[in-house]
Chain A
């Protein structure tokens, strides 16, 4: 039997046609079906303005930010298989990952560098959106969602910073979180703290740390925030963000 016959038998079978409803013929109808009939691609409208396609205009930074989010999610799941968020094991598991696990070091490197790249890309994305005035009507609300996503990106990165449980991570998180104890009214060193009756084991920083000092409880807390809480919240806001981009006709002047 010729290859063409085999191919036709497969693509005309009930099983294949139940999954794939159209082929790759380059027809206008098919070009639209490619996007509207695909759950991932239908984040796009089926037609966009030539404007919105130019890399010179978009810098592709929003897309790169999302790609970095996906990379950190995939590599993060891999790392979670080998990492225990307890003070006894966390650091040993890092060593284990580096020296014993297949691709452990590569996955960890990709996870960390992608996280850094995501922070930089989201800043550049914001800068580009500012430069093209793309926060103006009707996109005002989507800019606000974007600012929330920017904050979530920083929080995702910051909570992950603690997990290696080495000197770099606990002291960076200590310095970063010390600001919380100076929160006006809610931190025990902040102005107005005596009015609220907060103290070192009961204030904004203690809420963040899960106790008065950074310790095993903080590790577990940051682990859950990093692996479950913030990714979930971020996904929700991403959904809103993408939906709004689609509704507002992608880049370029409003219609």
Chain B
């Protein structure tokens, strides 16, 4: 920080002068530099904000009671049984993927993907201010993952799924006896592959092709957009992780579309797992 600003900062434990690192002092200029006292400027807004939110919460709590249904009964399963609302996006993904994938692998990708974000994004621009143009692709990707996938799947899971996890529009009453024809087939079958062994290889080719082809496309796209020099700085590890996570995210979108539009269940069936 500038207020401690010394041009040379010793490495912790470094004994020799050679271990000292030159840290250039960047004199911050512009509107970011004018400092104000925390008391009263920041403390005041925090205090007012806390009071307003607390009042809102109390009013909300006076007007609306927390739900309490009949006592727990392990022998009586409600239909539909829904997870807490913030997990309904994951429950909705069970329509498209098996539980090990929708419930364990994909959430792990989300968490790990969020954690590695600062390390794969090497764009120095857009640090500490709002700007769309400096970070178009980052912001659009986040928008796809957070708003379009996570939030909209929660809305679907909360409001549009009824008994049997069937789809009911807002205006449709929940009919417990609604029958949904199970017509979903696997993608290789739809492509005309009826042989179970060949089915495995076609599925493998499709899934591996998606990741390899997708990575190649992304590589070409990034080089086209940013140039080779950027790709060299970005490095293979960063690119690999980014491409893998990015393609997984698009894979979810693709699989959802395939399921909703063409009633496709699996793309690749193996004796161990199905995707």
Residues of chain A whose beta carbon lies under 8 Å from any beta carbon of chain B: 28, 31-32, 34-35, 41, 44-53, 55, 57, 60, 63-64, 67, 71, 87, 91, 94-95, 98, 105-106, 108-114, 116-117, 119, 123, 126-127, 130-137, 139-140, 143-144, 147, 150-151, 154, 157-158, 161, 164-172, 174-176, 178-184, 187, 189-192, 213-215, 247-249, 251-255
Contacts and interface: CB of A to CB of B under 8 A. Distances in A.
B116 to A, nearest CB: 9
Contact of B139 (A47, A50, A131, A215): A131
7 contacts: A50-B36, A67-B50, A111-B66, A154-B86, A184-B104, A254-B128, A255-B28
A32 to B, nearest CB: 7
Contacts of A109: 60-62, 64-66
Contact of B78 (A53, A167, A184): A167
B190 interface: no
A215 B75 CA distance: 12
A249 B42 CA distance: 13
A106 to B, nearest CB: 6
A94 B69 CA distance: 11
Contacts of A154: 86-87
A55 B47 CA distance: 12
Contact of B83 (A55, A94, A172): A172
A136 B124 contact: yes
A48 B44 CA distance: 13
Contacts of B111: 147, 151
A130 B142 CA distance: 8
B45 interface: yes
Nearest to B104: A183
Contact of A41 (B36, B38, B121, B272): B38
Interface of B: 1-3, 26, 28, 31-43, 45-46, 49-50, 53-54, 57-58, 60-62, 64-74, 76-78, 81-87, 90-91, 98-100, 102-105, 111, 114-115, 117-119, 121, 123-130, 135, 139, 142, 146, 272-273
B45 A176 contact: no
B60 to A, nearest CB: 5
Contact of B72 (A119, A139, A151, A167): A167
Interface of A is mostly: helix
Contacts of B41: 48, 50, 53
Given A119-B86, A133-B126, A166-B72, A41 B114 contact: no
Contacts of A175: 81-83, 91
Given A44-B43, A47-B35, A248-B1, 5 more contacts: A31-B39, A53-B41, A71-B54, A105-B65, A147-B114
Contacts of A47: 35-38
Contacts of B105: 184
A167 B65 contact: no
Given A41-B39, A182-B100, A189-B99, A166 B46 contact: no
A105 B71 CA distance: 18
A173 to B, nearest CB: 8
Contacts of B139: 130-131
Contacts of B49: 55, 60, 63-64
A55 to B, nearest CB: 6
A64 B128 CA distance: 20
A37 to B, nearest CB: 10
Contact of A49 (B35, B43, B103, B125): B35
A144 B54 CA distance: 29
Contacts of B99: 178-179, 181-182, 189-190
A172 B83 CA distance: 4
A23 to B, nearest CB: 13
Given A144-B115, A176-B83, A64 B53 contact: yes
A128 B69 CA distance: 36
A8 to B, nearest CB: 24
Contact of B118 (A44, A112, A143, A187): A143
A134 B127 contact: yes
Contacts of B68: 94-95, 98, 164, 166, 168
A84 to B, nearest CB: 14
A44 B42 contact: yes
